[in-house]
A and B are shown apart, each in its own frame.
Chain A
Amino acid sequence: MSFKPLMLAAALFALPIAVFAQGGGEAKDNTMAEIEKYREMLAGDNPAELYEAKGEEIWKRKAGPKDASLEKCDLGLGPGVVKGAYAQMPRYFADVNRVQDLESRLVHCMVTLQGFKAEDLTKEPFDTDDRKTDLNALVAYVVGASKGMTINPPLKHPQEKEMAELGKRIFFYRAGPYDFSCATCHAENGRRIRLQDLPNLTTHIGSQRAYGSWPAYRISEGLFRSMQWRINDCFRQQRFPEPQFGSDTVTALLLFLASNAAGGKYDGPGFKR
């Protein structure tokens, strides 16, 4: 049997169970209480910090054919401003005349400022055990610089408003051999898949807890995972084909989640099972 990393299915965003625990027998409550204890003991010392430190170094280091750093990269709050930028994404960028999420924007900066080729960066964008990408470490660094801030995507530009609306429709699109949409698992309160609680992403609280604690270091893989990866793996478990990296479909879903989570606290990068 070949080895495959264990992925949780549609259990996309882990939440503290106490909030969502329902009745259903003492055994179950006890199980959930112990798992909550497990999570408490894990708090702090998040290996994502190792990626944040590396990402900061990569951000400041000169690299690429143009031998430039990313310190002039505009993440929406002006060239070089990292602090708080992620909390206000995805957003419309006039220089490309489209809405971008963090990863699309980082690729844009690595291409325009450093001279990398977009296809080289996006061909295999996700970390594996023996291949860690600069892009992924940069994600950790940038999201870490929004920790504790309020999730506040602008949602003012017509393209931003439309993308959030499109994301909502994609969220409810049922297809594939299992008839699954995102909503199949993430549109009701208090549901679990196996032991994994499923946030209701159509509510503010559910979205805030989920969107607000991703990207994250995932224990089951021992790797730091970005939002593009997160959505990609959702679709895998929905039994869909693969969404293209940085595609509008992914950006639209992220903006839909960010708009539901808006006003809540960003508390990532997270630490997930």
Chain B
Amino acid sequence: MKNATMLSLWLAVGFAALPPSAIAADDPALEKKAVEMIKRDFKEKGIAKLDRLNLDAVQAACVKYSDKPPHEGSDGLDTLEKQQMAAIKWPADGKFMGDWKKGEVLAQSGRGMTWRDKPGDPNGGNCYNCHQLKPQELAYGTIGPSLLQYGKIRGNTPETQKYTYGKIYNAKAYNLCSNMPRFGHFGVLTEEQIKDLVALLLDPESPVNKK
């Protein structure tokens, strides 16, 4: 009842989001001014240096097209996804599965890459921030889809292992303006860590695949 009331209120008053059109492209002069403002107003702190404000090709396209780039063109989806895919460094040993127990610890940790993290501190996987994984963990986020039963649903095949490794390494190779960080591409996680996360998702013994 309460929810229903709130929902109708929401629809009536505040549900309308900003126009989904390309905000940045709408007014190039204003966009330029905003970028100049950003470049002027930040200062480096700890490991967070000012070069983090510079956009790579993927970020630039996603900002420019409000996360909905066209397929064609040199800054289009097709070209950029292909480039990102080509840049994935696959494991030399051809193995994708590590230790799911280590993966679970990694999935729980939200640490890493902020100006408070020290150089050399291990980064976390941040997984539970956005995804549901093992059923016992109630404190999970919903920015990304639930990964409960991930391996059970998809099957622990070599193809799924490779896809899962690649997706964690660089989600943008599969969906250019995905919300998910590029953990391998930007060196946030090591090859071994990504393998541990693949195991957390696919190992039949992992709690993710248990009831």
Our pick among A178, A191, A235, A248 for the contact of B141 (Cβ within 8 Å) is A191
Cross-chain contact A179 with B181 (CB below 8 angstroms): yes
Which residues of A in the span 1-52 have a Cβ within 8 Å of any Cβ on B? Answer: 4, 9, 18-19, 21-22, 24, 27-28, 31
Given contacts A18-B3, A179-B181, is CB(A237)–CB(B37) below 8 Å?
Answer: no
Residues of B in contact with A, size category: 35 or more
Our pick among B3, B66, B114, B143 for the contact of A239 (Cβ within 8 Å) is B114
**CA gap between A63 and B110 in the complex, in Å:** 43
Q: Is A131 an interface residue (CB 8 A)?
A: no
Given contacts A194-B129, A248-B37, is CB(A172)–CB(B66) below 8 Å?
Answer: yes
Our pick among B17, B110, B142, B181 for the contact of A24 (Cβ within 8 Å) is B142
**CA gap between A203 and B17 in the complex, in Å:** 5
Q: Is A244 an interface residue (CB 8 A)?
A: yes
**CA gap between A181 and B177 in the complex, in Å:** 12
Q: Is A165 an interface residue (CB 8 A)?
A: yes
**CA gap between A172 and B17 in the complex, in Å:** 13
Our pick among B9, B54, B188 for the contact of A175 (Cβ within 8 Å) is B54
- Residues of A near B13 (CB, < 8 A) are 204-205
Cross-chain contact A174 with B113 (CB below 8 angstroms): no
- Residues of A near B172 (CB, < 8 A) are 179
Cross-chain contact A242 with B42 (CB below 8 angstroms): yes
Q: Is A208 an interface residue (CB 8 A)?
A: yes
Chain A: minimal CB distance from B186 (Å) = 5
- Residues of B near A272 (CB, < 8 A) are none
Which residues of B in the span 47-62 have a Cβ within 8 Å of any Cβ on A? Answer: 48-50, 52-55, 58-59, 62
CB-based nearest B residue for A190: B142
Our pick among B2, B6, B35, B48 for the contact of A242 (Cβ within 8 Å) is B48
- Residues of B near A166 (CB, < 8 A) are 30, 33-34, 37
Chain A facing B: main interface SS: mixed
Cross-chain contact A187 with B17 (CB below 8 angstroms): yes
Cβ contacts A237-255/B at 8 Å (1 or 0 each): 1011111100111101000
**CA gap between A9 and B16 in the complex, in Å:** 26
Q: Is B24 an interface residue (CB 8 A)?
A: yes
- Residues of B near A174 (CB, < 8 A) are 55, 59, 62-63
Cross-chain contact A4 with B116 (CB below 8 angstroms): yes
**CA gap between A181 and B146 in the complex, in Å:** 22
The 10 closest A-B pairs by CB, nearest first: A205-B14, A204-B14, A169-B34, A247-B41, A249-B41, A178-B181, A242-B45, A193-B141, A241-B48, A241-B42
Chain A interface residues toward B at CB < 8 A: 4, 9, 18-19, 21-22, 24, 27-28, 31, 162, 165-166, 168-170, 172-181, 184-185, 187-196, 198, 200, 202-206, 208, 235-237, 239-244, 247-250, 252
